[in-house]
Structure 1
Amino acid sequence: MNHLEGKVIVITGASSGIGAAAAKALAARGAKVVAAARGQEDLDRLVADIRQSGGTALAKIIDVAEAQDTQALADLAVDTYGTIDVLVNNAGLMLFSYWKDRALDDWNRMIDVNIRGYLNAIHAVLPVMLASGSGHILNMDSVAGHQVGDGAGVYSATKFFVQAVTESMRRELGVREGIKASTISPGVINTGWADKVTDPVGRQAAQELNEIAITPESVADAVVYALDQPADVTVNDLIISPTRQNW
């Protein structure tokens, strides 16, 4: 049975990587995708690809760190499709640096996207889900939310935050309100993240780590699995990592 048919699914960070792969996979299962990101050209290409394959999708340019942007995203989904069934909180930033580098700008960028961005999106969709007494919030986490690696202290802290928030939501929103909360924790995925690291030493470490990475489509399969469940089943956390990743 396909539990995704007709579901309205909002995906942040959807212009590339895991977000784009998940958007395509979910649309292929009959979901109505509302894709959000900062890059107009990539979003337009994604929506065109989905529609060309017979799927349903629209796009919204947003900065998840801005609450008015995530609210506009939620409003667009409701105005167009009447509701929001699922939020895939996927927009994220992974920047490596060591504490001695004092990379304050990178730390703040990760806090803005990985923490503030997730909270803004949750804040925007919750009223719709609470009113319907159903919904699913899937927070993209990381294996770094389970253990801390070298040069990833702040990134891991943001992902431990995601773990804590999702567990709180599971107990409060899931048990009391019928709104599911899940995480997916990928290992090293080739999404182009290594090239975004600004610290030179951190960039080298990231590029070396990326050599064992698996594809975003592997994680998209996990997203489909987690979301394509009956109303009384919640997949709490899935860890997806390369076979040769040793942490």
Structure 2
Amino acid sequence: MSNLTNAVTVVTGASSGIGAATAKRLAASGAKVVLAARNEDKLRALVSEITEAGRTATYRVTDVTDRADAKALAAFAEKTYGSVDVLVNNAGLMLFSAWKDTAVDDWDRMIDTNLRGYLHAIAAVLPSMLERRSGHILNMSSVAGINVGEGAGVYSATKFFVRAITESLRKEVGVANGIQVSMVSPGVIDTGWADKVSDAEGRKAATELNKDAIPPEAVADAVAYALDQPANVSVNDVVIHPTKQGW
């Protein structure tokens, strides 16, 4: 039996890409998944797909940049299925731009989602996990949190941030309280992210980078591996990227 069987699992950024693939993969392993994102149409369609396959899923439209909304998401999950066993912190934005373009609006959007969004979701589920002395938090980072590429300075900074808070969580709430803490660091994944880059030069670089991308299902398998471990095992970091990616 999978260690994910009946695990109440919140997945943020679940409406598309890695989040959607992860939600389907974890549901297939027996988890009760609660999907969170801002696009209700996509969430509804994904829940229908999962439940029609005989699995358990629901959704709540959520903006994780809003602290109260993230807290309400955790409360919804608990009311629907029970205490949250697993958080997959996945909501994120990757927006390329050169420093000379001072794309401050893009910087702010990434900071709000990639930093504050992760912290808000952690704050929403951590008190209950600490009280129960059990639970699993998985933060989605990136190889950009290991190597800094051209045009990705602010995005990389947000992913270095994720790496730092994950290691701090592991030492503070993992070692001391038995809460499992994991991180998955994908490389170039074909999620449509390149189309979201508003800066013209950044979009050109993103499109070129995306040519060797691998599908989000590959990352979902890595997430499932990290989460499907007994309580005394923590997979702290999984780096997964295209074979042809040189960084």
Fold in common (TM above 0.5): yes
Q: Give the unaligned 5+ runs of structure 2.
A: none
Partner of 1:156: 156
Partner of 1:18: 18
1:67 partner amino acid: R
Partner of 2:88: 88
Other structure's SS at 2:70 match: helix
1:64 partner amino acid: V
Partner of 2:135: 135
- Is 1:100 the counterpart of 2:105? The answer is no
- Is 1:214 the counterpart of 2:207? The answer is no
Separation (CA, whole Å) in 1 of partners of 2:139 and 2:51: 26
Equivalent residues in 2 for 1:105-124 (5 A)?
105-124=105-124
Partner of 1:193: 193
Other structure's SS at 1:167 match: helix
Identity of aligned residues (%): 66
Partner of 1:245: 245
- Across the aligned residues of Structure 1 and Structure 2, the Cα RMSD in angstroms comes to 0.5
CA deviation vs aligned residue, 1:98-150 (integer Å, no higher than 9, x gap)? 11010000000000000000000000001111111100100000000011000
Partner of 2:9: 9
TM-score (norm 1): 0.99
**Alpha-carbon deviation of 1:180?**
1.2
The ranges of structure 1 where at least 4 consecutive aligned residues each deviate by more than 6 angstroms after the TM superposition are none
Separation (CA, whole Å) in 1 of partners of 2:82 and 2:204: 46
**Alpha-carbon deviation of 1:2?**
1.1
2:3 partner amino acid: H
2:33 partner amino acid: V
Separation (CA, whole Å) in 1 of partners of 2:131 and 2:55: 27
2:51 partner amino acid: R
Separation (CA, whole Å) in 2 of partners of 1:192 and 1:220: 16
1:3 partner amino acid: N
Other structure's SS at 1:235 match: coil
CA deviation vs aligned residue, 1:171-226 (integer Å, no higher than 9, x gap)? 00000111111110000001111000000000010011111100000000001000
